Amino acid sequence: MKKKPVNTVFVSALFLMMGVCFSCNGRVYAYVSFAPGVASEMYKPEYWILQYSDPNDVLKTDKDIEQLNLRILNSSETLVNNVWDEQKYGELQRNRIRYGICVKRTDIKSEPVAETVWDNPADPYFDRYQLTAAGVNTPVLIDNETEDGMFYHVITYDYEGWTLTENVAVCADRQEWMRAQEMEHILMVCAPRIYLEISRELLTMGTGLRLLTQQEAGECMAQANTWGCYVVEVPIRRTDGSYGVRYDTISITERVNVGYLPFTTKNLIEQMFLFLGERYGWGGMYESVDCSGLVQEVMACFGIKMPRDAREQIRIPASRITFTEDMTEDERKGTLDLMPPGTLLYFPGHIMIYLGQVQGEYYVISSVSSMKMPQSSESEDALKVRRVVINTLSMERKSSVTWLNALQYAVCL
């Protein structure tokens, strides 16, 4: 993808013509702070999209994404679970494995506990048992259950752990489980969160539900009640714990899409920016995302089945570049200059999305736990950011090493 020279005067003027105020002295941004080196207009996706000549070009076709998903499933490095492989889980099936569908967004933990157990009670952001969260309609394998029946041990595509039984419906057999995942027409949630209109059930970005046609909707619900909205099939847990379905509605004004979004630079940046300012959510806590959760939920909108953890995401079988320890800053910057927006950047413990370079500074967006100010002393404490933000690679880690110099890998999808 070709980059056009950055013209911040042109971009700002364009936004002002659109009636949007980006001055930090303006009515809105006088009350909002940003990371060092980040201008308020950078929080609009258009600022970045206008810097590229072909932001609407399709980067990967549906066929390309299907092949990428197969490579991820078959990779020994990404540590995902191919829960759909009947042969792989045949032994578990003989040991009475059960097949489940999540009916609520549910926490998955390393131990069968419902309460939050803080690593540090003075810093309530990290539940020591929290692994991840599974969204509505997520298929799971159930291979164990607590004696009191309160928790299932589940295997998902991206993790294994314990979750509340009340949040999972059990299918009669594998055939019913597979049918539950067959969706000729799919409605994708493309907002960080929305709520079903009737049940008010929470749906998070990347959730896909079976979409009913007009005829099907008319047969399932009073037709007049469905004007101006989508009708979707939603999984339920019956009183005996078994799998069933009901129907619910989502207004056409919600940020949803019929089918997966086309994988373009414009769509990718717009999806990322929907999370800006959102609270940091370790392992999916607070109905939000951590750094790898952000990447996974955004990529799901395009049909890409990313692993859950950052160290596995950077190992997916795609074009990967290594930043060696002996590279100078100029060499690192030169490497970044060759990368398109949307490239995944990684150092141990954190993954981020590259936005581009402006006047010698390199910008990324990510869900950040903590960082240090540029050129801070080693004795200075790290800032508890705990939010999805844009920042420059001049920011530092707790070790006082800049993000630029800490980079280890880049993956271009």
Is residue 96 pLDDT above 60, yes or no? yes
What's the chain's average pLDDT?
91
Residues 355 and 229 in one domain: no
Residue where one domain finishes, among candidates 218, 239, 258: 258
Could you tell me the residue range of the domain that residue 199 belongs to? Answer: 80-258
Of 105-109, 207-211, 390-394, 397-401, the one with minimum mean pLDDT is 397-401
Residues 100 and 243 in one domain: yes
Q: Are residues 300 and 393 in the same domain?
A: yes
pLDDT above 50: residue 217: yes
Asked if the model's pLDDT at residue 17 lies above 70, the reply is: no
pLDDT in tens, 177-196: 999 999 999 999 999 999 99
Number of domains in the chain: 2
- Together in a domain, 194 and 306: no
Encoded tokens for 405:
């110099």
pLDDT at position 88 is: 79
pLDDT of residue 226: 87
Last residue of a domain, one of 258, 278, 293: 258
Would residue 2 count as lying in a domain? no
Evaluate whether residue 312 is within a structural domain: yes
Contact yes or no for 90/288 (Cβ under 8 A):
no
pLDDT at 58 over 50: yes
Residue 210 lies in a domain: yes
- Could you tell me the pTM of the whole model? 0.91
Q: Of 243, 258, 273, at which residue does a domain stop?
A: 258
Sign of CA dihedral 336, 339, 342, 348: negative
Residue 3 domain-assigned? no
- Does 18 have pLDDT greater than 50? no
The verdict on 114 and 33 lying in the same domain is: no
Domain shared by 346 and 251, yes or no: no
Q: Please tell me what DSSP assigns to residue 399.
A: T
What is the model's pLDDT at position 283?
96
pLDDT of residue 178: 96
Please answer whether residues 298 and 292 qualify as being in contact, where contact means their C-beta atoms are separated by less than 8 angstroms. no
Residue 376 CA to residue 401 CA, distance in Å, equals: 10
In order, the DSSP letters of 261-311 are: PPEEHHHHHHHHHTTTTPBB-GGGGGG-B-HHHHHHHHHHTTT----SSHH
